[in-house]
Amino acid sequence: MSNALPNKQITLAHGGGGKLSRELVEEIIYPIFDNNGGHRLLDSALLSLDGGNIAMTTDSFVISPLFFPGGDIGKLAACGTINDLAVAGAKPRFLSVGLIIEEGFEIAYLKRILHSLAKTASAAGVSVVTGDTKVVEKGNCDGLYINTTGLGVVPENVSLGPEKVSVGDLVIVSGSIGDHGMAILSTREGLSFRTEIESDCAPLNDLTEKLVATGGVSVMRDPTRGGVASILHELAQESGLTVEISEEMLPVHPAVNAGCSMLGLDPLNLANEGKLVIFAKAHKEEEVMNVLKNHPLGRSASVIGKVTSREEWGKVLIETTLGAKRILPLIEGEVLPRIC
C-alpha cells in the first residue's frame, strides 16, 4: 500500500475514476468496512428487507471542525442518519456513504473518520452497503463532507406521527440539552472559550425501539440543528396543538449553562446529536420514564411539559424560572453554521 499510495494526501486524481481512485477505494476504504455484517461494499448494493415498510432518510454532514470532544464527523454521520430512522420508529439496517474530499486532505484523517463511522454503525447493528468518493480542488470544500443515506424497516404494528399527538400528552426530553452544540462551539477557532462538555453524539435506535415497545409514544424527534426549540415548534405546527414547557424542568449540564450565559445563547436552540424529544401518552408515563431511566442514553430524562390545548394552532409556550409564561421564539437560523 505504501507503494500504491505514496502520497499521504488526497490528490485530485484520487477522485478521477482511474487507478488512484480504485486504490483509494479498494486499499483504504473497503478494508475499513470489511467486517460489515457480511455485506460487501458495492457500487449498487443488493439488499433484502422482509416485511414492513421501508424508511429512507438522507443527511449531509458539513461540520466544522471535523474532530470534536466526544466524536468526529464519521461518528456523527452514522448517528445522524441512524437517529432519523430510529425516531420514525424504524429499525435501521443499511447505510450508504458519500464522501466529498478536498484535495490535500490527510489520508490518516480520512481513515480515522471512516473507522469511527464504521464502528458506530456496526455497534448499532447497521451495515454500510454502498458508497461514493469525490474529490474537489483545494478551496472547494472544507476538508471533508459526508452524506449518509439510511434504510430501515418499520414493523407492521408501529405507527408514530404528529397526528397521534393529543391534548394531555407529556413532552419529554431524554437527557441534558445542547451538549453537542456547546462542544462544537467550544472548539471553534476564534472563540476564547473552553469547557469540559462533550458532544452527546450517539445512536438512539436501541432506546427508541424500547420506547416504542411501551405503546406510549405518540411521536419522537431528535433535536439536532435548531435544537429542542425548533423541534417543539415543528411538532406543535404539525399536530396543530399548543405545547407548554417549563424552563425549570429542562435538564441542562452546568457547563452548557455557563457557556450559554457567556455567549448569550439559549440551550433550547443548541444542537443535540443523541437526544430525543418524545410526546407520550400521560397514562404511560411510568413505563416510558422507566425505559428512559434504565437506559444509558436516557438516565437524565425529564418531563419538560405537556400538550395543553387545541385552541391556538402550533403555539409553543415556556414558563420561565421566574414564573412568567411567554411564547418560545423560533430563531431564524442556527446560532452558528455547520454545527452538524
Residues that bind its own copies (CB under 8 A): 11-21, 43-49, 53-62, 84-85, 87-88, 90, 94, 96-100, 129-132, 134-137, 139-142, 145, 147, 149, 151, 154, 224-227, 230, 271, 330-335, 337-338
Q: Which amino acid is at 289?
A: M
We find the least distance from the C-beta atom of residue 9 to its own copies, in angstroms, to be 14
Gap between the Cα atoms of 53 and 229, Å rounded: 30
Question: Which C-beta is closer to its own copies: that of 156 or that of 311?
Answer: 156
Q: Using DSSP, state whether 64 is helix, strand or coil.
A: coil
Gap between the Cα atoms of 110 and 147, Å rounded: 14
Question: Which C-beta is closer to its own copies: that of 154 or that of 170?
Answer: 154
Residues 6+ apart with CB under 8 A from 192: none
Question: Which C-beta is closer to its own copies: that of 85 or that of 118?
Answer: 85
We find the least distance from the C-beta atom of residue 15 to its own copies, in angstroms, to be 6
Helices 73-87 and 107-123: crossing angle in degrees, nearest 10, is 30
Question: Which C-beta is closer to its own copies: that of 48 or that of 261?
Answer: 48
Which grid coordinates are listed for 179?
451538549
Question: Which C-beta is closer to its own copies: that of 62 or that of 249?
Answer: 62
Contact 289, 173 (CB under 8 A): no
Question: Which C-beta is closer to its own copies: that of 277 or that of 289?
Answer: 277
Max alpha carbon distance in the chain (Å)? 70
We find the least distance from the C-beta atom of residue 55 to its own copies, in angstroms, to be 5
**What is the signed CA dihedral for 211, 215, 217, 222, rounded to 10 degrees?**
30
We find the least distance from the C-beta atom of residue 166 to its own copies, in angstroms, to be 22
Question: Which C-beta is closer to its own copies: that of 93 or that of 253?
Answer: 93
336: phi then psi, degrees, rounded to nearest 5: -135, 145
Q: Using DSSP, state whether 93 is helix, strand or coil.
A: strand
Count CB-CB contacts under 10 A for residue 264.
7
Q: Which amino acid is at 261?
A: S
Contact 151, 276 (CB under 8 A): no
We find the least distance from the C-beta atom of residue 117 to its own copies, in angstroms, to be 14
Count CB-CB contacts under 10 A for residue 37.
14
Question: Which C-beta is closer to its own copies: that of 258 or that of 331?
Answer: 331
We find the least distance from the C-beta atom of residue 293 to its own copies, in angstroms, to be 27
Work out whether strand 144-154 and strand 217-221 pair parallel, antiparallel, or are unpaired: unpaired
Contact 301, 292 (CB under 8 A): yes
We find the least distance from the C-beta atom of residue 234 to its own copies, in angstroms, to be 8
We find the least distance from the C-beta atom of residue 193 to its own copies, in angstroms, to be 20
